[in-house]
Structure 1
Amino acid sequence: MPRFAVRRLATGFLHVVVVATAVFALTSWLPGDAAVVVLGEDASDGQVAALRAQLGVDRPWGDRFLDWAGGLLRGDLGTSLLTGEPVAEQLGRELSSTAVLTGLVLVLVLPLSAVIGVVSGMRPGSRTDRSLNAVVVVLTAIPEFALGMVLVAVLALHLGWLPATAAGLSGLSLADQPAVLVLPVTVLVCKQLSALARQVRVGVAGAVDAGYATHLRVLGVPERSVLLRHVLPNALAPAVQQLARTVDGLLGGVVVVEALFGLTGVGAGFVDAVKTRDLPVVQGYALVFVVTTVLVNTAADVAARRLVPQQEVLA
Structure 2
Amino acid sequence: MTASSTRRSHRFHASLWWLRRLLTAAGTLVAASLLVFVATTLAPGDAATAQLAGQASPERIAELRHDMGLDHPPWERYGHWLWGALHGDLGTSYVNGEPVSQLIAARAGNSLLLGAVAAALLVPIAISLGLWAGLRAGRVVDRAVSTSTLTLVSLPEFVTGTLLVLLFAVGLGWFPAVSVPSADGSVLSEPQVLVLPVMTLLSVCLAQNVRLVRSGVIAATASDAAQAARLGGVPERRVVLRWVLPAAVVPAVPVLARYLSYLLGGTLVAETLFGYPGLAAALVNATAARDAPVVLGVTVLVAAMTVALNVLADALAASLNPAARNGT
Tell me the TM-score normalised to structure 2 length.
0.86
Equivalents in 1 of 2:27, 2:69: separation in Å? 29
2:23 aligned residue (1, 10, 15): 10
Hey, what does 1:201 align to over in structure 2? 214
| Greater Cα offset, 85-94 or 40-49 | 40-49
Matches within 5 A, 1:122-141: 122-141=135-154
Specify the code of the residue in structure 2 equivalent to 1:208: T
Equivalents in 2 of 1:113, 1:86: separation in Å? 40
Matches within 5 A, 1:104-115: 104-115=117-128
Matches within 5 A, 1:1-315: 2-3=14-15, 4-167=17-180, 169-218=182-231, 223-310=236-323
1:246 CA drift (Å) = 2.1
Equivalents in 2 of 1:313, 1:217: separation in Å? 36
**CA-based RMSD:** 2.5
Q: Would you say how many aligned residue pairs link Structure 1 and Structure 2? A: 314
1:24 CA drift (Å) = 2.4
Equivalents in 2 of 1:31, 1:233: separation in Å? 55
Specify the code of the residue in structure 1 equivalent to 2:311: T
Equivalents in 2 of 1:5, 1:211: separation in Å? 36
Task: Give 4+ residue runs of structure 1 displaced > 4 Å after superposition.
Answer: 215-226, 310-314
Deviations 1:250-292 (A, max 9, x none): 2332112212222111122112211211111111111112111
Distance 1:81 1:238, change over 3 A: farther
Matched position secondary structure for 1:174: coil
1:49 CA drift (Å) = 1.7
Q: CA contact under 8 A between 1:109 and 1:192: conserved in structure 2?
A: yes
Q: CA contact under 8 A between 2:119 and 2:263: conserved in structure 1?
A: no
Equivalents in 1 of 2:222, 2:25: separation in Å? 36
Q: CA contact under 8 A between 1:98 and 1:265: conserved in structure 2?
A: yes
Equivalents in 1 of 2:98, 2:291: separation in Å? 11
Matched position secondary structure for 1:120: helix
Equivalents in 1 of 2:292, 2:107: separation in Å? 17
Tell me the TM-score normalised to structure 1 length.
0.89
Distance 1:201 1:64, change over 3 A: same
| Greater Cα offset, 13-22 or 60-69 | 13-22
Unaligned stretches of 5+ residues in structure 1: none
Unaligned stretches of 5+ residues in structure 2: 1-9
| Greater Cα offset, 219-228 or 149-158 | 219-228
Specify the code of the residue in structure 1 equivalent to 2:122: V
Identity in percent: 39
1:96 CA drift (Å) = 0.6
